[in-house]
């Protein structure tokens, strides 16, 4: 251990660790992608930002957290017949690792998604992010256990696999489907090399970052491939709630008849991100050498008890109160928000058509047209890296996310992600106007 001068605080000396001795994943630049974006947003505070996938802030202007806690407390005392002392213990003490709003979540899954699971199949987590870490750590204990991931993908799953040292296998998107033949071949090849693909992470409904919606046929084929090749599907449904009610497709978990799907949910978008509540449905059977059977959820709860002990009961109470207020439906909590996001998305697409469309071909620029989710993916004829983003922020006052950050291989160098969730109507229009000026300057 060296003692060195601290460059940030001149004159202050302290213990210096060699970075080479720390977690190798720290050297992966993608791990820093979110910090980098926050830093860019701070550096150009007047810029209009299509970068963050965060919910619209206006939803929280009048949010009364106490009201939801009260609703949950009333439910505990009137419906569950708990005494005042028992209610206090539920809210203020340590609680069960698997969570305490499991029954409400199971009811909401039944009502909203036609997913039939028992409260015991669910573990309430500190955001969906913790669920990812618990599932990956539990399913992939050894060096030969691999995670297949749809590419490009949510930075949180790729980052979690990196931090845990789990090898990933890339499955490419292809229109509204996936490269399933390649996945099947990769599973076979992995087996021949003594490895096993334990699971595929997939977000079938308006994925982050590409806005992809998998068609019904692909969903069915995925389920049968998973069964044939004996891997699990880890379904992330963060954006399914934004689908137009007439266009919603059944989730993989709703189609699953064989307990092949581990389902990840988040309350960040339908309720609020600050509550940090997510959940995982893990109804798979686990059999030990004596023949005793448990649930995967039991094992995840065991691991969770050594990671975060339990999800904050007060935060669970807030989510519980929100669900209760909407008659047991989580989708109903997100309904008004979903309407705004769909409107924002069509405003963003209309503004792109108006301000960029007439010259798009000439400039070599194109974009997809998702019907839900938060994101539009745009292809440019130039490398869309951090330097270009900084130039765009300083000279044109508009920000976006380089898609490169979401790829597990070297893809995405010519793509950007535009998020519509965070901005007002005026900001979307003005932002696209600025983006059009920038594109004319750099792509001409
Ligand atoms: C695909 C995906 N999954 C999950 C989450 C949310 O996770 P959490 O509940 O940890 O906020 C996000 C948020 O951006 C996301 O885009």
Q: Is the pLDDT of residue 334 over 90?
A: yes
Residue 14 pairs with which residues in a beta bridge? 4
**Confidence (pLDDT) at 443:** 95
SS3 letters for 131-189? HHHHHHHHHCCCCCEEEEEEECCCHHHHHHHHHHCCEEEEEEEECCEECHHHHHHHHHH
Mean pLDDT value across residues 410-419: 96
| pLDDT tens digits for range 209-246 | 999 999 999 999 999 999 999 999 999 999 999 999 99
Phi and psi at 330, nearest 5°, equal -80, -35
Residue whose CA lies nearest to ligand 1 atom number 3:
238
Two structure tokens written together for 383: 């490398």
Which of 39-43, 199-203, 332-336, 354-358 has the weakest average pLDDT? 39-43
**Confidence (pLDDT) at 6:** 66
The answer, yes or no, to whether any atom of ligand 1 lies below 6 A from the CB of 153, is: no
Read off the pLDDT band of 11 (50, 70, 90): confident
**What spacing in Å lies between the alpha carbon of 237 and ligand 1's midpoint?**
9
> Cα separation of 375 and 393, whole Å?
19
> Cα separation of 396 and 399, whole Å?
9
**Confidence (pLDDT) at 9:** 72
> Cα separation of 374 and 422, whole Å?
9
Read off the pLDDT band of 2 (50, 70, 90): low
C-alpha separations of 92 from 42, 284, 301, 346 in Å: 36, 32, 20, 44
- Please choose from 268, 269, 274, 417 the residue to mutate so as to test ligand 1's pocket, defined by most ligand atoms within 8 A of CB: 268
The answer, yes or no, to whether any atom of ligand 1 lies below 6 A from the CB of 236, is: yes
DSSP alpha helix (H) spans, 194-312? 216-229, 252-255, 296-304
- Please choose from 154, 211, 315 the residue to mutate so as to test ligand 1's pocket, defined by most ligand atoms within 8 A of CB: 154
Read off the pLDDT band of 66 (50, 70, 90): very high
Per the CB < 8 A criterion, the answer to whether 235 and 128 are in contact is: no
Handedness of CA 294, 300, 301, 305 (dihedral sign): positive
Looking at every residue in the chain, the average pLDDT score rounds to 95
- Please choose from 37, 156, 208, 274 the residue to mutate so as to test ligand 1's pocket, defined by most ligand atoms within 8 A of CB: 156
Neighbours of 433 (CB within 10 A): 17
The answer, yes or no, to whether any atom of ligand 1 lies below 6 A from the CB of 154, is: yes
**What share of the chain in percent tops pLDDT 70?**
98
**Confidence (pLDDT) at 1:** 54
Query: Is this prediction's pTM over 0.85?
Result: yes
**Confidence (pLDDT) at 259:** 98
**Confidence (pLDDT) at 388:** 96
Residue whose CA lies nearest to ligand 1 atom number 15:
238
**What spacing in Å lies between the alpha carbon of 117 and ligand 1's midpoint?**
22
Residue 280 pairs with which residues in a beta bridge? 123, 264
**Confidence (pLDDT) at 38:** 78
What number does the ligand 1 atom closest to the CA of 277 have?
9
Mean pLDDT value across residues 248-269: 98
**Confidence (pLDDT) at 383:** 97
Residue 361: which residues within 8 A CB-CB, separation 6 or more?
none
In the numeric block, the tokens 């969730």 are attached to: 421
The answer, yes or no, to whether any atom of ligand 1 lies below 6 A from the CB of 129, is: yes
Phi and psi at 237, nearest 5°, equal -115, 50
Pairing type for strands 167-174 and 145-151 reads parallel
**Confidence (pLDDT) at 276:** 98
Determine the number of helices (DSSP H) and then strands (DSSP E) in the chain.
Answer: 15, 18
> What DSSP character marks residue 193?
T
> Cα separation of 389 and 142, whole Å?
39
């Amino acid at each position: 251990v060296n003692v060195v001068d601290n460059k940030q605080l001149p004159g202050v000396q302290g213990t210096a660790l060699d970075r080479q001795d720390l977690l190798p994943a720290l050297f992966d630049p993608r791990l820093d992608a979110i910090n980098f974006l926050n830093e860019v947003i701070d550096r150009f505070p007047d810029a209009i930002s299509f970068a963050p996938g965060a919910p619209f802030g206006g939803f929280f202007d009048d949010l009364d957290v106490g009201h939801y806690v009260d609703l949950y407390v009333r439910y505990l005392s009137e419906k569950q017949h708990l005494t005042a002392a028992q209610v206090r213990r539920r809210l203020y003490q340590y609680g069960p690792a698997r969570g305490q709003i499991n029954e409400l979540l199971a009811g909401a899954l039944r009502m909203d998604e036609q997913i039939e699971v028992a409260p015991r199949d669910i573990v309430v987590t500190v955001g969906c992010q913790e669920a990812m870490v618990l599932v990956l750590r539990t399913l992939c204990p050894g060096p030969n256990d691999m995670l297949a991931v749809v590419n490009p993908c949510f930075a949180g799953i790729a980052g979690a696999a990196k931090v845990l040292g789990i090898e990933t296998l890339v499955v490419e998107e292809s229109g509204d489907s996936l490269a399933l033949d390649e996945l099947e071949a990769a599973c076979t090849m992995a087996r021949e090399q003594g490895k096993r693909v334990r699971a595929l992470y997939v977000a079938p409904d308006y994925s982050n970052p590409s806005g992809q919606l998998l068609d019904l046929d692909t969903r069915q084929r995925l389920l049968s491939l998973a069964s044939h090749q004996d891997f699990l599907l880890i379904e992330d449904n963060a954006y399914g709630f934004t689908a137009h009610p007439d266009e919603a497709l059944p989730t993989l978990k709703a189609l699953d008849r064989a307990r092949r799907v581990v389902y990840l949910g988040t309350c960040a978008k339908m309720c609020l991100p600050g509550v940090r509540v997510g959940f995982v449905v893990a109804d798979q059977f686990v059999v030990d050498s004596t023949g005793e059977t448990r649930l995967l959820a039991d094992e995840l709860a065991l691991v969770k008890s050594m990671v975060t002990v339990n999800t904050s009961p007060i935060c669970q109470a807030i989510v519980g109160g929100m669900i209760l207020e909407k008659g047991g439906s989580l989708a109903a909590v997100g309904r008004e928000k979903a309407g705004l996001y769909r409107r924002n998305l069509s405003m963003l697409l209309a503004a792109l058509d108006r301000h960029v469309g007439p010259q798009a071909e000439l400039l070599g620029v194109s974009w997809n047209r998702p019907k839900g989710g938060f994101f539009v993916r745009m292809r440019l004829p130039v490398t869309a890296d951090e330097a270009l983003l900084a130039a765009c922020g300083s000279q044109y006052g508009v920000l976006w996310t380089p898609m490169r950050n979401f790829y597990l291989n070297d893809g995405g160098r010519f793509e950007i992600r535009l998020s519509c969730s965070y901005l007002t109507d005026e900001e979307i229009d003005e932002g696209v106007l600025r983006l059009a000026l920038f594109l004319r300057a750099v792509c001409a």
